[in-house]
Structure 1
Amino acid sequence: MTTDTRRQPELRYTKPDMIPKVLLRAMLALPLAALAIVGANAVSGRPQVGVPHAAEVVQQRSLVLEGRGAKAVALRDADGTLLAEMENGGFITVVQNGLQRARLVRGVDQALPVRLVRFDNGRLSLIDDASGWSVELHAFGDLNQAAFDRLLSE
């Protein structure tokens, strides 16, 4: 038997794979800069710009939204009168799911009514006084707002 006397070349590990120090410093600087900006804004007393302007209530209605599974929802007047039962409630079901979650987290009774409110500046909001939850319905587009708009005209 003959043995191979040729040597295999040695693999040399000359430089470890590392993240460049400049990149590490930049990665650290980004969250620190964000924290500094948010902190400075919080202590400056500057007014919040994303908050809707105060307006007078033009019209409102108390409603109870009952979840009936993943897609179905029943809408009742505050006195219990059935207004609509939808097998595929679409946007109304999405809003009801958000309301249900907010109430679950805060330990609020699911059967309490919410207020559907139209303000004089055109905003349409669904407000849950029991949990402090609310949603600005105009933010989801005209078609989605119209789903709730019809409930005020009935």
Structure 2
Amino acid sequence: MGAAAALAVVGTVSTAGAATPGPGSARVLGKSELAFYPSTHGKATASSRVIHCEMVFIGANHGAPHHSGHVPGTVNVRVRVTCTKPVRMIRAKIGLFSNHGSKIKAYGSVGRAAAKGNAALVCRTGYYQGESAAQITAPPGYTPHTANMGAKTSKVHLTRC
């Protein structure tokens, strides 16, 4: 089962900002962005009122899956969704996918400007990739009311478990 299919449980996942690269591509897809705009038009809609949100995988190598520094014998991937102002809700999932299995964990926040997620697997030599999908609900008076974003890491081969 593909990563996007597994993570689609948060809603209709838009991966436009995180399109899958072609075979052999070294492109890293560890970041995705979106914006919410004030619903009213005129002088009150200054650009300072726009809410910008981004999803970024945390850590070295653009947040690619890595040996955990906190839990020996595991591989993990971490992600952060950050908005420039508090939003009504961030509802998301993060997945760590491997040729040996997968782990999907929910994360989110209500009334805050950020949320963090983490997924981990027992380390076994093999290929790993992280992916996250989030549905963000804007505060009243912003459009769109909700938006979806997604991002993924590069696929990495880990050894020395």
TM-score interval, smaller chain: under 0.3
Q: Which has the larger radius of gyration?
A: 1
Higher relative contact order (CA 8 A, sep 6+): 2
TM-score, normalised to structure 1, is 0.24
Which structure's residues are more often helix, by fraction?
A: 1
Normalized per residue, which structure has more strand? 2
Q: TM-score under structure 2 normalisation?
A: 0.23
